[in-house]
Amino acid sequence: MHLYLIRHGQSVINLDGWEGTNLDEGLTDLGRRQAFALASWLPQNLGAVDALYCSSMRRARETVEALCGVLAVPVRYDDRLREIGNNRIDHTAWPPEQLPARYADYWSSSRPFSSIVPSVEGGESYMHFRTRVGWFVEEAVEEHQDQVVVAVCHGGVVEAIFDHVFNIGPWRRCEVWNHNTGISHFQYVAHPTRETWRLHYHNRIDHLLDEGAR
């Protein structure tokens, strides 16, 4: 399986004035330009795509809309690809009216077993988050052998997938930075005597450089 992870385009939470509120907002004007630049670049550089997944959050949904006209597969929205803090500890998504208003005043990697949204009961920790993201990855491996899979998600999801694939412990020591609409390419090879995953590249943004949408 070839797994391509794509972070959503720029949203309100990516702006300098963001103060930690937990918002399900759409893309900025720049974010929409990034999404269209991605849609222009992707078909010529990825080839045929067998499955297209997307987080159910608005900024990811608006990013994937640009891809729907150029990738000949239906979108499969998956709550497991939502950003950290937006699901309960049982992995179900918070309804919009119950979405926790703020994140904790500590970074999730510093307290991986503590809720990242302590203002509400039943909020997930980083380890709960990693479990649901890992669940998505392992299920994709089983369902999409020898196929090309694209997943439009969030920066935190990309980081959690790195942790899952590299088998990192609870206390991560390195931030995996991802630009808006940056692309990461993993391959699952299932080799019996060596590593089962290959990382081909991370945070590729050729499409933004060509279109001036960085």
**Residues 6 or more apart in contact with residue 114 via CB below 8 angstroms:** 104, 106, 125
Strand bridging mode 2-7 / 51-54: unpaired
Q: With bands split at pLDDT 50, 70 and 90, how would you rate the model's confidence at 19?
A: low
pLDDT exceeds 90 at position 40:
yes
More confident residue, 155 or 72: 155
pLDDT exceeds 90 at position 190:
no
Segments forming the whole domain that contains residue 84 = 2-211
pLDDT tens digit sequence for 64-110: 999 998 998 999 999 999 999 999 999 999 998 888 888 899 999 99
Q: Look at the chain and report how many structural domains it folds into.
A: 1
Q: Residue 13 belongs to a domain with what CATH number?
A: 3.40.50.1240
pTM of the predicted structure, to 2 decimals: 0.94
